[in-house]
Amino acid sequence: MRRTAPRTETQQADALQGVAREQWLAMYEQMIKIRAFEEQVNELYRGAKMPGLAHLYTGQEASAVGICQALRPDDYITSTHRGHGHCLAKGARVDLMFAELLGKVSGYCRGKGGSMHIADPQSGNLGANAIVGGGAGIATGAALSAKRRGSGQVSVCFFGEGALGQGVLYEVMNMAALWKLPVIYVCENNLYNEYTHYSEVTAGELRARPAAFGIQCVEVDGQDVRAVYATTRRVVERLRAGEGPAFLISNTYRYFGHHVGDVNRAYYRSKEEELDWKARRDPLAILADWLTGEGLADAGTLEEIERRARAEVAAGVEFALAAPYPDPGEVDQHVYA
Amino acid sequence: MRRTAPRTETQQADALQGVAREQWLAMYEQMIKIRAFEEQVNELYRGAKMPGLAHLYTGQEASAVGICQALRPDDYITSTHRGHGHCLAKGARVDLMFAELLGKVSGYCRGKGGSMHIADPQSGNLGANAIVGGGAGIATGAALSAKRRGSGQVSVCFFGEGALGQGVLYEVMNMAALWKLPVIYVCENNLYNEYTHYSEVTAGELRARPAAFGIQCVEVDGQDVRAVYATTRRVVERLRAGEGPAFLISNTYRYFGHHVGDVNRAYYRSKEEELDWKARRDPLAILADWLTGEGLADAGTLEEIERRARAEVAAGVEFALAAPYPDPGEVDQHVYA
Amino acid sequence: MSMPSAVADREITFAQAVREALAEEMRRDPAVFILGEDVAEAGTPFKVLSGLVEEFGTERVTDTPISEAGFTGIAVGAAMTGLRPVVDIMFGDFLPLAMDQIVNQAAKVHYMSGGKLRVPMVVRTNLGATRRSAAQHSQSLHALLSHIPGLKVVLPSTPYDAKGLLKTAIRDENPVVFFEDKLMFHLKGPVPEGEYTIPFGVADVKRQGTDITLVATSSMVQVALAAAQILEKDGISAEVIDPRTTVPLDARTIVESAKKTGRAIVVDEGHERYGVTAEIASVIAEGAFYHLDAPVKRMGAMDVPVPFSPALEDLTVPTAERVAEAARALCGRT
Amino acid sequence: MSMPSAVADREITFAQAVREALAEEMRRDPAVFILGEDVAEAGTPFKVLSGLVEEFGTERVTDTPISEAGFTGIAVGAAMTGLRPVVDIMFGDFLPLAMDQIVNQAAKVHYMSGGKLRVPMVVRTNLGATRRSAAQHSQSLHALLSHIPGLKVVLPSTPYDAKGLLKTAIRDENPVVFFEDKLMFHLKGPVPEGEYTIPFGVADVKRQGTDITLVATSSMVQVALAAAQILEKDGISAEVIDPRTTVPLDARTIVESAKKTGRAIVVDEGHERYGVTAEIASVIAEGAFYHLDAPVKRMGAMDVPVPFSPALEDLTVPTAERVAEAARALCGRT
Ligand SMILES: Cc1ncc(C[n+]2csc(CCOP(=O)(O)OP(=O)(O)O)c2C)c(N)n1
Ligand SMILES: Cc1ncc(C[n+]2csc(CCOP(=O)(O)OP(=O)(O)O)c2C)c(N)n1
Ligand SMILES: [Mg+2]
Ligand SMILES: [Mg+2]
C-alpha cells in the first residue's frame, strides 16, 4: 500500500506560504461536512428513506477538498458515481443535494438525476456520471472550450483508478496533450474497483499511463489535505500558464462498501486494512492534529466547526425530507432544451 | 524521420544464424509478389475492373514478410484495411485474393468481404478489418484462446500507427499484460493516418504507449526484412516461453496514396519525401543488395524469382477476371452460422 | 426441445436458473468460460454468478478491468478460435461502450468471411427500470441489438425460459445477446431438474385467450399476465404471448393469435419510438391486416431518459393497470 | 422558415450545400467549430469540407486522432460550456464507437441535470450502401439513434434540405445527429442564395399523388420519386413524402397522406427489422387504420451485413423498380 507522496517538504512549504488559518479551517469544515453528509446518506438508506443506492466518499474527503480549494469558483469539475464529496467541495449546497438524493423537485436536478448525477453549473460542476470514465470526454471538452474562449478556466476530471480501464480516457488524454488543454485528470486511487483490488486489473505502473502521452504526472497523499492542496495549486498554476494537461494520482481509501449495501467485504478486503486506514490515515484527524499542533486551532474551535457542519447537514436532511416530489408533468420535460 | 532500428548488429546476427539462403530467397519472392500484386490492384482499379477502393501495401512489404516468416502456419494474425501484404505473407493464395477483390464467389470470402475483409483461417488469418484498431480485440482474444488451449500459438495484431488513437487498443493491451497473453501488437508506422502526419495527432513517444502497461517494446527498421525477421523471431520466442505480450514498432512508408484514388498528395506530403524513401529505403532493393553482396544470389536468380512471382500474379488476375460472381441466392446466406 | 413451462417439481429463482444453465454448460463443454467485471469472487453485484468461480476457477470465471469494449473484443477473438465465451456486461446501459465490437465485429465476421469464421459467443446483460438507478443504469436497449443482422437477441421472462434459452444461446454458433430483467432475479418459478433447452424463434403462449392478444417481452410479460387477470374480471379474455427471442422472431404465432382475437397490444420496456413495439406492431398490422378490429396498440417505455425520482420513474414504464385500460379501450369497453 | 424547395436560381451539389451551411453558421457564430478526422486540409475523404480550414483556420476546423469516442466526448463537454461543436464521424458505421458518448452522455445530460445543462452539438455523419465498401463502411444506422430520447435525427434528401436542416441543427440547443447520403454528395439541386433554415419535424411532400403514399427517407427519396415516375406510366398516382427528420417525426403529414390514398409503402435504407420502416409503418397503421385499403408495406435494406460483391450488394437495397412493383401489388395491379 502506497501512502506517501513523492513531493518534497520544501515544495509543499513554499506552496503553502500565505495560506491563512481561515482557509485551513474552511477546509476542515468542508471535510467534516462531507463526512457528516455521507453518514446521513447511509442513515437515509438504512431507514429506507432514500431511493436506490449511493456510493459514499467517506475516507476520501481530503482529496476533493484539497483539490477544489485550489480552484476558482468558475473552474470546471466532472465527478463520478462516488461524487458527493466532489460536488460539496466545489460548492454545492447540502440541502439541494439531499433533496436530489431523495428524488425531490427542489434537488439540483429536480429529482431527475439522483445521487450519481448531481450537476451544478453555478459552481462549475458539469455533473457526476454513472458511467465509469464518463466524465473524461466532458472535462476535456470543457478545457478545450475554456482555452478557445480564453477564459483562463481549468477543468478537473475526477475518477477512480477503475476508470483506467476505459479506453476513452486514453483517447482524450492524447488530444489534451496535443492541444495543451487546461485539464487535470485526477485519479483517486482508493485501491478497489468495486470488489476487486486494482492491482488485479491494472497492468504496469499507474504513472506510466499519462506518461504515454507526455502528460506530467504528480502523485500525492490523498489523506493529507495540505499536500493535496499544495500540489494542486502548483499544477493549476502550470495549467493556467498554458503548459497543458496534468495527471494527479491521489492515493486514498474508501472507508465503507462500494455502495451503501456492500456490507460483507471480507472476500475482497480485510477488516484490518480498513481499521488501519481509519486509525492512521484519517484525513480529518491528520488535519486536526496539524491544526492543533501548530496552534492554529484548539479542540473547542474544531468542535464548534463540527457542530456547525452537522447542523447544516441535519437541516439539509430536514429540508429534503419535507420537500415535494416533482409533479408527474415533469416526466417528459427537459428531454429537449 | 526515424529510419534506424534500435537493435544491435550482434543480436541480429545471432538471430539470423542458421537461416538458409532458400529462406531469404523465399522472402524475396514473397515481397516481390506483394509488390506485383499491388501493381495489379492499381491497374484493376484504374481499368474500372475492381469494385470499390483498395489501400496498397506497396513499400511496406518487408514488414509483413519479415514478421510472418517468423511465425508458424497456425499462428494467428489480424490485419487492416491495408491488408493485402499481411494476408499474402501469412500464406494466402494470389488467385483467391484477386477473386475476392473482384467480388467473385471463388474469392476467400465468396466475394462478400472484398479488399478490406480477406480472411483465411487455414493460414491463421482471422481477417482484415476496416475499422481502424478493429483487430485489437480479436487478436488478443485469439491469444487468450491459444493460451487456454495450450496450443503454443501466438497471435499478431497488425495495425497502422493511426490505431493508437483507438481506446480499445489500450483496454486490450492492459488485459494482455495482466494475463500474459502471447500477442504481438505490430504498429506499422508509415507516418500517415490517411492524409495527416501522425505527429499531428499523436502525443508523446510511441514507445511509451505499450510501456504504460508494462509491455515490452521493440522498434525495427521496417524496410529491412532481415531486421524485421530477426527481431520478430526473438520476440516470438519470448512469447512462446510464456513471457507475455510484446509491442513491435515497424518503421515504414507507403509509396502510394492512402487508397488507390488518392493521387494528389502534395497537401500532406512532399514528392521529395516519397522519392527519397523509394530511392534509399526500398525493401526489395535492400534485400536484393544484401543477397547479391553476400553472393547468395546473382541478378539472374533474382530476375527468375521476379518472373515467377509476376507470372503467378498475372495468372491470379486471369483467374479472378474469369471467375463467376456469387449467385443472388448467396445474399442472405452466412448471416447466421 | 421446448417443454411445457408449468410442469416441474421444484421452484428456483431466475438468478439460480441462469447460474444453473451456466454451470451445466461449463461442465459439459470446457470451451465455455465467463469474462466480465467482478464476475468471480463477487459473482457480479447482482450475485447471479455466486459460486461459479469456486467450481470452475478464475481461468474460466475471469474478472476483467472496467473495459467493456476491450473484453467484448477479446471474447470475439476467443470465439473465433475455439472457445465459447459468455461475456458479462454488468448493466445493459454499458452496451454502447462495446457497440463497435458487437455491431461491427461479432455480428459481421461470419458474413464478411463468407462463412469461414464463426463467433459463438453470448453477451449476457440486463434491462429494466424502476430500480431508482437513473438514466445510465436503467435502460432497456434490446431494440438496438435487434436491428443488427448477425445477432440473435433473447429476452427470457421466467426462470424456466432463462435456463433453457441460455443453454441454447451458449450452444449457438452465433453471437447472442441475452437480456435479463434486473427486477426478476429473485422471481421464483418451476424449473425441472433434468436437462432441457428451448429453441430460439418459438414464442410461448403464456396465457390463452380469445378477445385480445397481449404480446409482451421480458419484464413486461408479468405485467401483461397481471393485466390479463384484471381483464378477466371485466369479462375480457386476453391471450399473452411472449416471443422470447426478438431475433429470430416467431411472427407466425403472434400473427395467428392476432388473427384469432382481432385485437393486439405490444408491451415492451424499451423506449416506444423506433423500438421493439414498432417492429412487432407492424408485423401484426401487416400479417393480420384483414382480421384486425382495431389498430394495434404499442406500449413501450416513455421516450424520456429514465428519471431517478420514484415519483417520475414509475410513470415511464407500462403497468398492468395501464395495459388493462388500453385493452378495455381497444375492446370498446370504456 | 421553410421555403418551397424547387424555387431557386442556382443549382449546387449536396456537398456544396453542406459546406455553405457550415460556412454561414461559422461566420454567424464564433462558437461553431468542426472536429473530426481529416476535416482540415483534406476536407474529409469526401471533400465535403474543402476550403473551410482556409477560411476558419485549424482552431475551428480541427483534425483529430482516430478517436471517435474521444472527440465526440470532447464535443459534449465543449457544448456544455459555451461552444457549438459539429463533429464529423467519417462513416456512419463508426457511430458505434462513439455510442456511449452519444447515448449515455449527449442525449441524457439535459434531462439528468433537470434542464440545467445543455448539449448543443451536431454529429455529422453518413449512410448508404452500393458503394462497394462492404459491411463496415456501408451501414445506415439512423434507427439506432432515432430510438434514443434526447437526440434529434435528421435525414436530408436534397441539397436544399441539407443546407436548411444543417443550419437548423447547428442552432438547435440539443444533440442532433445529421445523416448525409454518401451517394448524394454530387447530386445537384436548386438552392437559393439567401439565408434560410428548415424547421425540424416538418415533412416535405416531394410529390403529390392520390393513389398511394410512398414515405421515403434520405437516399430512398430519389428511389421513391423514380418509382413514382414508373407508376405514373401505369396510371398510378403516387405521393412521395419525406419526413426529413425521424425525430421529431411529422406523423400528422404522413398519416394524413395515407388516409387520403389508403395505401402506403415506407422506404428506408436502414435494415428493415427493428428499423425506421417499422416505426413509420406502425404510425401509419395506427393513425390511418380506418382508411387503409391494404397493409402498409415496409421496404428497408435486407437484414444482412452489406456484402461487398456488386452482384450481391445491389440486391440489398430497395430500387425504384422494386418499389414500383410493390406499389402495383398493393394497388391490386399485378
Ligand atoms: C462503464 C461502466 N462499467 C461498469 C460500471 C459499474 N461500476 C460502477 S462503479 C465501478 C467501480 C469503479 O471503481 P473506481 O473507478 O476505482 O471508483 P471507486 O468506486 O473506487 O470510487 C464499476 C465497475 C459503470 N458504472 N460504468
Ligand atoms: C474507427 C475508424 N475510424 C476511421 C476510419 C477511416 N480510416 C480508414 S484508414 C484511416 C487511417 C489509418 O491510418 P493508419 O492506422 O496509420 O494506417 P495506414 O492507412 O497508414 O496503413 C482512417 C482514418 C476507419 N476505417 N475506422
Ligand atoms: Mg477505486
Ligand atoms: Mg499510417
Number of residues that make up chain C:
334
Angle at D184 between CA D182 and CA D185, to 5 degrees: 75
CB within 8 Å of B139: residues ≥ 6 apart: B76, B77, B78, B126, B155, B156, B157, B183, B185, C77
CB C298 within 8 A of CB C283: no
* Bridge partners for C179 per DSSP: C125
Residue type at C229?
Q
- If residue D214 lies in a helix (H) or strand (E), which one and from where to where? strand D212-216
pLDDT of residue B3: 39
- Residue stretches of chain D with pLDDT short of 50: 1-4
State whether C102 and C139 are in the same domain: yes
Residue D90 lies in a domain: yes
Do the Cβ atoms of D70 and A175 come within 8 Å?
Answer: yes
Selection from D289, D292, D293, D238 nearest residue D267 by Cα: D238
Residue D233 Cα to ligand 3 midpoint, Å, equals: 70
- Residues D137, D142, D147, D291: which is the catalytic one? D137
At B160 the three-state DSSP class reads strand
CB C43 within 8 A of CB C53: yes
How far is the C-alpha of B272 from the C-alpha of B253, rounded, in Å?
13
Average of per-residue pLDDT across B223-237: 98
Residue C209 sits in a domain whose CATH number is: 3.40.50.920
How far is the C-alpha of C8 from the C-alpha of C18, rounded, in Å?
17
User: Does residue A79 have its Cβ closer than 6 Å to ligand 1?
Assistant: no
CB B160 within 8 A of CB B191: no
How far is the C-alpha of C80 from the C-alpha of C31, rounded, in Å?
12
At C207 the three-state DSSP class reads strand
State phi, psi for A34 to the nearest 5 degrees: -60, -45
- Chain segment C27-56, per-residue pLDDT in tens: 999 999 999 999 999 999 999 999 999 999
How far is the C-alpha of C280 from the C-alpha of C257, rounded, in Å?
13
How far is the C-alpha of D68 from the C-alpha of A315, rounded, in Å?
46
Would you say residue B9 has pLDDT above 80? no
Would you say residue B214 has pLDDT above 80? yes
State whether D77 and D143 are in the same domain: yes
Please state the separation of Cα A328 from the chain's center in Å. 33
Among C159, C190, C221, give the residue marking a domain's end. Answer: C190
State phi, psi for C186 to the nearest 5 degrees: -95, 0
Q: What 8-state DSSP symbol labels residue A95? A: H
Supply the range of the domain harboring residue C285. 204-330
Q: Is the dihedral of CA D90, D96, D98, D104 positive or negative?
A: positive
Domain count, chain C: 2
Q: How many CA atoms lie within 13 A of A265 on its CB side?
A: 23
Instruction: Find where cell 412493383 sits.
Output: D325
How far is the C-alpha of D278 from the C-alpha of D288, rounded, in Å?
15
CB within 8 Å of D236: residues ≥ 6 apart: D211, D212, D327, D328, D331, D333
Residues 163-222 of C with CB under 8 A from B: 173-174
Closest partner CB to D147 (pick from C112, C149, C273):
C273
Looking at CA atoms only, how far is residue C300 from chain A in angstroms? 14
State whether C36 and C171 are in the same domain: yes
At D258 the three-state DSSP class reads helix
How far is the C-alpha of B322 from the C-alpha of B307, rounded, in Å?
22
CB atoms within 10 A of CB B304: 14
Mutate to test the interface with A, among B140, B174, B187 (most CBs of A within 10 A): B174
Minimal-distance CA residue to ligand 2 atom 5:
B132
How far is the C-alpha of C289 from the C-alpha of D103, rounded, in Å?
35
State whether C85 and C119 are in the same domain: yes
- Say if C309 is an interface residue toward chain A (CB within 8 Å): yes
Looking at CA atoms only, how far is residue A261 from chain D in angstroms? 24
**Which ligand sits nearest to residue A164's alpha carbon?**
1
- Chain segment C173-184, per-residue pLDDT in tens: 999 999 999 999
How far is the C-alpha of D224 from the C-alpha of D232, rounded, in Å?
12
User: Does residue C90 have its Cβ closer than 6 Å to ligand 1?
Assistant: yes
Is residue D126 exposed (0-12), middle (13-18) or buried (19+ Cβ within 10 Å)?
buried
Do the Cβ atoms of C309 and A268 come within 8 Å?
Answer: no
Residue D131 sits in a domain whose CATH number is: 3.40.50.970
For chain B, percent of residues with pLDDT exceeding 70: 96
- Say if D76 is an interface residue toward chain A (CB within 8 Å): yes
Do the Cβ atoms of C81 and B119 come within 8 Å?
Answer: no
Q: Is the dihedral of CA B12, B18, B21, B23 positive or negative?
A: negative
How far is the C-alpha of A14 from the C-alpha of A251, rounded, in Å?
22
Selection from C143, C292, C242 nearest residue D286 by Cα: C292
State whether D62 and D166 are in the same domain: yes
Do the Cβ atoms of D38 and B164 come within 8 Å?
Answer: no
Mutate to test the interface with D, among B115, B118, B331 (most CBs of D within 10 A): B331
Average pLDDT over chain B, rounded to an integer: 95
Residue C214 lies in a domain: yes
Q: What 8-state DSSP symbol labels residue B120? A: B
Residue B33 Cα to ligand 4 midpoint, Å, equals: 22
- Chain segment D20-70, per-residue pLDDT in tens: 999 999 999 999 999 999 999 999 999 999 999 999 999 999 999 999 999
**Which ligand sits nearest to residue A256's alpha carbon?**
1
Looking at CA atoms only, how far is residue B52 from chain D in angstroms? 5
Q: Is D186 a catalytic residue?
A: no
Selection from A255, A237, A259 nearest residue A80 by Cα: A259
Selection from C50, C185, C114, C186 nearest residue D305 by Cα: C114
Angle at C321 between CA C319 and CA C323, to 5 degrees: 70
pLDDT of residue A1: 36
How far is the C-alpha of B220 from the C-alpha of B230, rounded, in Å?
10
State whether C20 and C162 are in the same domain: yes
Q: How many CA atoms lie within 13 A of B162 on its CB side?
A: 24
State whether D182 and D214 are in the same domain: no
CB C147 within 8 A of CB D143: yes
Q: How confident is the model at residue C9 (pLDDT cuts 50, 70, 90)?
A: confident
State whether C136 and C226 are in the same domain: no
CB C21 within 8 A of CB C167: yes
State whether D137 and D106 are in the same domain: yes
pLDDT of residue B1: 37
Residue D2 lies in a domain: no
Do the Cβ atoms of B196 and D42 come within 8 Å?
Answer: yes
User: Does residue B161 have its Cβ closer than 6 Å to ligand 2?
Assistant: yes
Domain A19-323 in CATH 3.40.50.970? The answer is: yes
How far is the C-alpha of C314 from the C-alpha of C316, rounded, in Å?
5
Please state the separation of Cα D36 from the chain's center in Å. 19
Question: Could you tell me the CA-to-CA distances from B36 to A172, B299, B311, C120 in Å, in that order?
Answer: 41, 18, 9, 38
Is residue A130 exposed (0-12), middle (13-18) or buried (19+ Cβ within 10 Å)?
buried
Q: What is the DSSP string of C75-114?
A: HHHHHHTT-EEEEE-SSGGGGGGGHIIIIIIITTHHHHTT
State phi, psi for C84 to the nearest 5 degrees: -130, 80
| Crossing angle (nearest 10°) for helices D320-330 and D219-233 | 50
Residue D198 lies in a domain: no
Selection from D110, B65, C66, C332 nearest residue A168 by Cα: C66
Pocket test for ligand 2, best of D68, D72, D90, D99 (most atoms within 8 A of CB): D90
Among D156, D190, D224, give the residue marking a domain's end. Answer: D190
- Chain segment B31-75, per-residue pLDDT in tens: 999 999 999 999 999 999 999 999 999 999 999 999 999 999 999
Selection from D245, B313, D313 nearest residue C274 by Cα: D245
Is the bond into C248 cis (omega within 30 degrees of 0)?
Answer: yes
Would you say residue B185 has pLDDT above 60? yes
State whether C244 and C166 are in the same domain: no
pLDDT of residue C5: 52
Average pLDDT over chain D, rounded to an integer: 97
pLDDT of residue B141: 99
Looking at CA atoms only, how far is residue B187 from chain D in angstroms? 15
pLDDT of residue C42: 96
CB within 8 Å of B166: residues ≥ 6 apart: A167, A171, B132, B133, B136, D66, D67, D97
Instruction: Find where cell 510501456 sits.
Output: B211
User: Does residue A161 have its Cβ closer than 6 Å to ligand 1?
Assistant: yes
- Chain segment B291-317, per-residue pLDDT in tens: 999 999 999 999 999 999 999 999 999
User: Does residue C285 have its Cβ closer than 6 Å to ligand 1?
Assistant: no
* The pairing of beta strand C176-181 with beta strand C122-127: parallel
* The pairing of beta strand C176-181 with beta strand C152-154: parallel
- Say if D70 is an interface residue toward chain B (CB within 8 Å): yes
- Say if C6 is an interface residue toward chain A (CB within 8 Å): no
Question: Could you tell me the CA-to-CA distances from D78 to B90, B134, D97, D119 in Å, in that order?
Answer: 45, 28, 19, 8
At C28 the three-state DSSP class reads helix
Residue C40 Cα to ligand 1 midpoint, Å, equals: 16
pLDDT of residue A2: 39
How far is the C-alpha of D177 from the C-alpha of D155, rounded, in Å?
9
Strands (E) in D217-258, as ranges, are 238-242, 245-247
For the entire predicted model, the pTM comes to 0.97
pLDDT of residue C8: 78
How far is the C-alpha of B114 from the C-alpha of B325, rounded, in Å?
12
State whether C303 and C232 are in the same domain: yes
State whether C261 and C287 are in the same domain: yes
- From first to last of its 337 residues, chain A has per-residue pLDDT tens of 333 444 455 566 666 878 889 999 999 999 999 999 999 999 999 999 999 999 999 999 999 999 999 999 999 999 999 999 999 999 999 999 999 999 999 999 999 999 999 999 999 999 999 999 999 999 999 999 999 999 999 999 999 999 999 999 999 999 999 999 999 999 999 999 999 999 999 999 999 999 999 999 999 999 999 999 999 999 999 999 999 999 999 999 999 999 999 999 999 999 999 999 999 999 999 999 999 999 999 999 999 999 999 999 999 999 999 999 999 999 999 999 9
